[in-house]
């Protein structure tokens, strides 16, 4: 037992130190936040019971979807993914002052383009493949350039998360799981599927990709009202005709995508270089059959923690939990290394388990002592802010002791676990009120007892 405890404590400390803080929803070095990160985006607002706008009411004719392409054609037609994207452009171009403004902004910031396209190189093959399977325009693969700068850890002030920027409510509408251990709004596979499903639904609703994009940013109800307003005034209902009714963010949204589309079509024209992206899958999915620490998974795959998290950003805690449907993404050659190293590991794959707080008396300090770790390790593993305390009912991660070394976290615990905090001042204030109430009650009880004795004495004297 003595040999196991230090091993867990050391691993726990290493796990926490290597985990990164959540990234911002934009590239902080540019001051140019993605358009989709504002609270008005429909992906940033609850979109259950989506309204249906009859296509027959639209004044514009519904363009045909591009024909779906076979996987065999994709594999050999183009040498790189950029070529596949260019060959599948299918949204009508727009050319106006706003497009020129955004082209100039991107063209004069090659460092921003380099960082964003380098991040995108991990995901674009998958996104383009999914678009082609659905027969959707391939320039939609560039939309995360606008939404999140291809940062799956992006988080907006409106709590929109991931590469495609879903808020919690809309994420749940599209079956993106969100619990104490994972957030599929950040997951590459799940969020891409949800975003493309949503975009398809919007296209079927409006019959126009530019209006579908406007609805993705502004909300389908807002676009519907704008169309009806222009129809009542006898005006056209295409995107540019509706632009004057839109907020500035949406008015710029489609022009921004057009600007990126223009640059990808001919980067040399703007003095830019795009990193080569081989027309082959960047990652493969590996089944996860038991709990595994995030850092151990990265170690077995011979990847840095940063690179592992870039492909698996949905996991929020130092341990990856889940059922047989849970998968981790790894580059192909690293997946082979993972399987080989896993077969030779011979140690516990996870050093974490859960503990439910049953009483306000369970402080982080006492928990740290009980589980042979430090308060900082517990705080960082559970994202508990400094100067806060855990409320009763919270379920947190704690280092495993020898008695629980081989036990996985139950799926039910993963689904239902919650963590709630209160400030130390709030707890002290509550304690003070309880103490004051108890003191008043004690005085009251004492006074009642004296009065009772006094009355008895007088009665006895009578």
Name the residues annotated as catalytic. 147
Element (H, E) at 423: strand 421-423
The residue to which tokens 């396209």 are assigned = 117
The DSSP secondary-structure symbol of 270 reads G
Neighbours of 461 (CB within 10 A): 6
Distance CA 293, CA 288 (A): 11
Q: Is 180 in contact with 396 (CB distance < 8 Å)?
A: no
Q: Which two tokens stand for residue 378?
A: 């517990």
Q: For residue 422, give the H/E element and its range.
A: strand 421-423
Instruction: Point out which residues pair with 356 in neighbouring strands.
Output: 395
Phi then psi dihedrals of residue 132, to 5 deg:
-65, -35
Q: State the Cα angle at 359 between 354 and 365, rounded to 5°.
A: 65
Q: Which helix (H) or strand (E) holds 388?
A: strand 388-390
Give the three-class secondary structure for 80.
strand
Q: If DSSP codes are grouped into helix, strand and coil, which group holds residue 379?
A: helix
DSSP 8-state symbol, 166? B
Instruction: Report how far residue 206's alpha carbon sits from residue 283's, in angstroms, rounded to the nearest whole number.
Output: 35
């Amino acid at each position: 037992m003595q040999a196991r405890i230090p091993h867990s404590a050391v691993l726990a400390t290493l796990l926490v130190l290597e985990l990164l803080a959540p990234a911002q929803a934009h590239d902080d070095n540019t001051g140019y936040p993605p358009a989709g990160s504002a609270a008005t985006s429909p992906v940033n607002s609850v979109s259950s019971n989506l309204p249906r706008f009859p296509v027959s009411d639209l004044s514009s004719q519904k363009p045909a979807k591009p024909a779906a392409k076979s996987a065999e054609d994709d594999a050999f037609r183009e040498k790189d993914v950029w070529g596949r994207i260019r060959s599948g452009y299918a949204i009508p171009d727009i050319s106006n002052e706003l497009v020129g403004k955004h082209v100039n902004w991107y063209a004069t910031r090659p460092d921003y383009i380099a960082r964003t396209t380098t991040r995108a190189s991990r995901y674009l093959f998958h996104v383009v493949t999914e678009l082609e399977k659905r027969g959707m325009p391939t320039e939609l693969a560039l939309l995360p350039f606008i939404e999140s700068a291809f940062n799956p850890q992006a988080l907006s002030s409106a709590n929109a998360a991931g590469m495609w920027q879903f808020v919690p409510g809309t994420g749940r509408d599209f079956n993106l799981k969100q619990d104490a251990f994972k957030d599929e709004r950040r997951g590459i596979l799940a969020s891409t599927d949800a975003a493309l499903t949503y975009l398809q639904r919007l296209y079927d609703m409006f019959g126009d990709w530019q209006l579908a994009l406007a609805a993705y940013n502004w909300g389908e109800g807002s676009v519907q009202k704008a169309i009806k307003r222009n129809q009542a005034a006898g005006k056209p209902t295409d995107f540019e005709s509706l632009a004057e009714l839109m907020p500035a963010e949406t008015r710029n949204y489609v022009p921004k995508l057009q600007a990126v589309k223009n640059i990808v079509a001919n980067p040399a024209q703007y003095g830019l270089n795009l990193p080569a992206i081989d027309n082959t899958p960047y990652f493969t999915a590996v089944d996860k059959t038991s709990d595994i620490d995030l850092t151990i998974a990265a170690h077995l795959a011979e990847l840095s923690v940063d690179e592992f998290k870039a492909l698996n950003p949905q996991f929020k805690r130092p341990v990856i939990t889940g059922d047989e449907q849970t998968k981790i993404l790894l580059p192909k050659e690293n997946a082979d290394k993972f399987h080989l190293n896993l077969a030779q590991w011979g140690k516990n794959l996870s050093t974490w388990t859960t503990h439910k707080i049953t009483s306000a008396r369970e402080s982080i300090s006492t928990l740290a002592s009980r589980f042979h770790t430090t308060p900082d390790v517990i705080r960082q593993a559970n994202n508990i802010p400094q100067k806060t305390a855990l409320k009763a009912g919270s379920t947190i991660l704690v280092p495993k002791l020898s008695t629980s070394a081989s036990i996985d976290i139950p799926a039910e615990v993963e689904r239902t676990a919650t963590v709630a905090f209160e400030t130390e001042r709030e707890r002290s204030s509550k304690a003070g009120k309880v103490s004051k109430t108890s003191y008043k009650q004690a005085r009251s009880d004492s006074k009642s007892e004296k009065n009772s004795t006094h009355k008895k004495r007088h009665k006895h004297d009578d």
